[in-house]
Structure 1
Amino acid sequence: MATISSLGIGSGLDLNSLLDQLNAAERKKLAPIKLQQQGHQAKISAYGKLQSALTKLQEAAAKLNDPKFFQSVSSNVTGSGVKAAAKSDAPPGRYSVNVTGLATAQSIAASGVESRTAQLGGGSVNLTLGTGEPIDIAIDSAKSTLEDIRKAINDSKSGVTATIVNDGSGNPHRLVITSNKTGTEAAVTASFSGGLEARLGATPETVVTAKNASLTVNGIAITSQTNQVEGAIQGVTLDLEEETAEGGSNIVVVERNTLAIREAVSGFVKAYNDLRSTNSELTRFNSDTGVAGELLGDSTLRTVESRLRGVLSGGVGGGDFRMLSDIGITLQRDGTLKLDEEKMSGIVANEPQALAAFFAGENKAGGLAGRLGETLDQVLRDRGLLDNAKRGLESRITSLKDRHERMERSIEQTIQRYRTQFGQLDAMVANMNQMSDYLFQQFDMMNAQLGRKK
């Protein structure tokens, strides 16, 4: 059978060009399917943009759905000797903190030896931490170097750390044992027995005495086992770093973190307005060009907008604040929210509990932020409104893909049928041309025989 590259050779007809035109005409049937696929894919991408904007609003609402957030406080310190960290239960106030002494950990040192690697003889190390039970650490005579003893003490996990210090004397290497905790309750004592006693002494000498931290808060004396003091000021942790110089002071100021609350409310308003902007972009229509947004007239988007408007306009049932307008947030004609920052600042400063009740309520879904979060969860969760809409489009795209493939196979079969018919036509015309040439030859021969040919 003649191939497409040889079509028309026998007949002289431009059958290849004709076949190409028929193929192009048949493939135009695929264009509507491709357009539908592109349209569905564009809607899925648009749903992605919508989901991103909704998620940001969900995060902004979740931040406001926490009563403790509205009780948050911050602390700042004037002075270099103290750092302070305040929790939500810290009462606002101003505190003068003076450090008169830092807590220290007990350190004791044994007598020096000439070599840190020489065997010192067997025996035991007896350790006592504070008023705790004594701990005996056995030392084998074959593993009794200063390094071995240090390792045995550290491996015992007895609440101390052993090190070796070189003091530069004739017997420079000294075993130093330091409590892992500061304060008198963690003071460490030790004794050596057996062969160790002869080389290291019966009891190490104290080189650093255990001390408790001492400080005053607004003139009241306080002691602490550590340099991290909790409870001296309710809800505040003080980290003591240096003693206060004579005549100096550290001022700790605890105040309500109004800035964080204002920023959270402002962030909520911005997230909603950004969502409105995204929706406007996805539903726009340009009358001059006829170009429409991917979700123009989309029922899913209309449902989302309707649900959100219902929550925002419905407000909450009780409390000093019931509607967004009560706290300085008003709905504009274009659907966006506007925040009266001056009014909000006053509410944050003077009525934080009422604001917390409005947004957070008594339970997770009791306030406006909780209700909005619940609605957004129904939209954004797996098998939620948005997910189901996307799944529906993906199913249609798969169906269109199958339809496209079936139609392509049908077009290929049609073109193959045309190719076969054109091949047969080409052969038939070629045969007719050959027959015509033969007859003309015979007629010419007959005319010649009859003397008719000149």
Structure 2
Amino acid sequence: MATIQSLGIGSGLDLNGLLKDLDKAERGKLEPIERQIETQQVKVSAYGKLEGALSAFQTAANALNDASLYQSLSTSVSGDAVQAAAGSDAAKGQYAVTVHNLATAGTLATARIDNLDDELIDGSETKTLTLNFAGQDSVDVDIEPGSTLEDIRDAINAKEDSGVSASVIYDGEGYRLTLSSTETGADASITGSNFADIVNATLATDEVAGEIAQQGQDASLEVNGIRITSASNQVEGAIQGVTLNLAEEGSSTVKVEQDTRAVREAITGFVDAFNSLKDTIDELTSFNSESGAAGDLLGDSAVRSIESRLRSVLSGGVAAEEGGFAMLGDIGISLKLDSKNSLKLEIDEERLDEVILNDQDALSAFFAGDSTTGGLAGQLSETITQLSGSNGALGGAKSGAENRIESLKERYVRMEQSIEATIARYRTQFGQLDLMIAQMNQTSDYLFQQFEMMNAQLGRN
């Protein structure tokens, strides 16, 4: 049987147009699936946004769940003589510090050389430059034959743990190799070298006998009248747990006290993170009665469960010993409706400052407790972990939406394959119809011609 390459040629019917219309109508069956996939994708995105806000709140809660936060100390310094930093074992108190002199490094300058290009090391053998120190072993540096003053400098600087830093300076008349101790203090001072013994003596033009050395010195200071010396300007141990960095000669007062600022910032961050989480929830569950616009998670049961669980922990408080804090309200934090009728945390600044200043031990027991989940912050962190887990309200809702997307995509593929098969069947049927009509038209034309011929013959007779 003959085939028709283009639908409609044989029959004269717009079969291609009809097939396109049928294809469009069949593909309309995919639109509901596409809308369902889009709806679930919007939900997954919304759950991700909620998950991020929950994670930020958990991070803020974890900061309060660290008992060391409430025992941290800070230093304040009046005067420019020193800077100070307190460690975890510092002792609270006030200390008068007087810096008499700073620790300095020792220096040494060699004899003067007229020309930088002069080869100072004669012969063909490597020579040894020995550097001597006041309170430590000497250091040997190999110097190659033919070395200039700059080559000697480079060899010293290339020597690991040489204890000195070398440079070349011009003093107005010639060039000198200068050495500076890398450490401060009297014992680290470089006291001399055998430079004059290993170089070509005829090239050394300095009339000053020997080398020019300047002794390094130890720092000298007093802490509350007690005399202290230090080889370094960074002094540890003069005040328990405090590192002093000596800046200049003079007097300073160092105060070591409870670090109320760090605790205040952690609590404020906790309140801000919860209120930000609440803003995210309000946005995702909003409804505008005038425009009809709705949040992506309006009426979502997972969101209601999350709010309920968190509110329960926040308002439930913790078990407290006598004189301790049991509820957020005890430290000046309360759940209140804001101007948009949203339940958020609010701080009584005066009360919170009083608690932070006077009772950080009780504050630590309230937020951090005596175990990882014993305090309010630990309970909140554990609750968020449960909510975000695979079996939690948020984790389950998110994974459920993701699974529905995968299922809908598979359904979409199956539907698309079915539509393609249907259209292919229509195309075959239309091709057969086109061929059949074409054959019928040919038969009709043939019969018409035969009848015309018969009529013509009858007319002649």
TM-score (norm 2): 0.83
1:411 aligned onto 2:419: yes
What residue is the counterpart of 1:2 in the other structure? 4
State whether structure 2 residue 402 is matched by structure 1 residue 394: yes
Cα 1:350–1:92 shift into 2, 3 Å: same
Superposed, 1:17-416 pairs within 5 Å as 17-91=17-91, 93-116=93-116, 117-120=118-121, 124-137=128-141, 142=145, 145-154=148-157, 155=159, 157-169=161-173, 172-192=174-194, 195-196=197-198, 199=201, 205=211, 207-244=213-250, 249-286=251-288, 291-319=293-321, 320-332=324-336, 334-380=342-388, 386-387=394-395, 389-416=397-424
Native 8 Å contact 1:191 1:203 kept in 2: no
Task: Establish whether residue 420 from structure 1 lines up as the match of residue 424 from structure 2.
Answer: no
Q: Percent identity, aligned pairs only?
A: 52
| Structure 1 contact 106–206 (Cα < 8 Å) conserved | no
Does the 8 A contact of 1:46 with 1:295 survive in 2? yes
Structure 1 SS opposite 2:194:
strand
Letter in 2 for 1:335: L
Q: CA RMSD for the aligned pairs?
A: 3.4
CA contact (8 A) 1:131 1:185 kept: yes
Q: TM-score, normalised by structure 1?
A: 0.84
Q: State the AA in 2 paired with 1:312.
A: L
C-alpha distance in structure 1 between counterparts of 2:394 and 2:284, whole Å: 15
The answer to whether the Cα contact below 8 Å between 2:131 and 2:194 also exists between their aligned partners in 1 is no
CA distance in 2, matches of 1:450, 1:382: 94
Unpaired stretches in structure 1, ≥5 consecutive residues = none
Contact 1:161–1:180, Cα closer than 8 Å, also in 2: yes
Q: Deviations over 1:107-137 (max 9, x none)?
A: 2233334445333457644434343334445
> CA separation of 1:415/1:174 partners in 2, compared to 1, >3 Å: closer, same or farther?
closer
Structure 1 residues 359 and 203, CA gap change in structure 2 (3 angstroms) = farther
- Kept in 2, the 8 Å contact 1:126–1:134? The answer is yes
Q: 1:326 offset after TM fit, Å? A: 1.6
Q: Structure 2 vs 1, CA of residues 104 and 426 (structure 1 numbering), >3 Å: closer, same or farther?
A: same
**Could you list the per-position Cα deviations for residues 248-282 of structure 1 after superposition, in whole angstroms to 9, with x for gaps in the alignment?**
x4344444443332232122112112212222222
For 2:69 and 2:378, the matched residues in 1 are separated by 14
CA distance, structure 1, for counterparts of residue 181 and residue 209 of structure 2: 16
Residue 347 of structure 1 and its aligned partner are, at CA, apart by 0.8
State the alpha-carbon separation in 2 of the partners of residues 135 and 227 from structure 1: 25
SS at match of 1:366: coil
Equivalent residue, structure 1, for 2:440 = 432
Q: Is the alpha carbon distance of 1:192 and 1:403 closer, same or farther for their aligned partners in structure 2, counting shifts above 3 Å?
A: same
Structure 2 distance, partners of 1:327, 1:308, is 19
In 1, Cα distance between the equivalents of 2:457 and 2:388? Answer: 98
- How far 1:344 sits from its partner (Å)? 0.9
Q: CA deviation at 1:203?
A: 9.4
Q: Deviations over 1:58-107 (max 9, x none)?
A: 22112212222223344344433433333354455554433221111122
Q: CA deviation at 1:405?
A: 1.7
Matched AA of 1:308:
L
Distance of 1:197 and 1:353 partners within structure 2: 70
Q: Is the 8 A contact 1:70 1:353 kept in 2?
A: yes
Secondary structure at 1:207 match in 2: strand
Taking a change above 3 Å as real, the CA distance of residues 16 and 212 of structure 1, as seen in their structure-2 partners, is same
Give me the whole-angstrom Cα distance separating, in 2, the residues matched to 1:432 and 1:118.
Answer: 114
Residues 196, 13 of structure 1: alpha-carbon distance in 2 compared, 3 angstrom cutoff: closer
The answer as to whether partners of 1:228 and 1:237 remain within 8 angstroms in 2 is yes
In the alignment, is the contact (CA less than 8 A) between 1:65 and 1:370 conserved in 2? yes
Distance 1:119-1:11 versus aligned 2 partners, 3 A rule: closer
Letter in 1 for 2:120: Q
Distance 1:446 1:130 in 2: 140
**Distance in 1 of aligned mates of 2:265 and 2:383:** 23
| Matched-pair contact (CA < 8 Å) for 1:191–1:204 | no
Q: How many aligned positions are there?
A: 444
1:362-409 CA-to-partner distances (Å, cap 9, x unmatched) read 333332222222332344468876455444433332232222122112
Q: Structure 1 residues 69, 203: CA separation in 2 closer, same or farther (over 3 Å shift)?
A: farther
Shift in Å, 1:49? 0.5
* Worse-matched range after superposition: 380-389 or 129-138: 380-389
Seen in structure 2, the aligned counterparts of structure 1 residues 195 and 132 have a Cα distance that, compared at 3 Å, is closer
Distance 1:173 1:260, change over 3 A: same
Amino acid at match of 1:58: Q
Shift of 1:174: 3.1
Local SS of the residue matching 1:332? strand
Moved segments of 4+, more than 6 Å: 200-203, 381-385
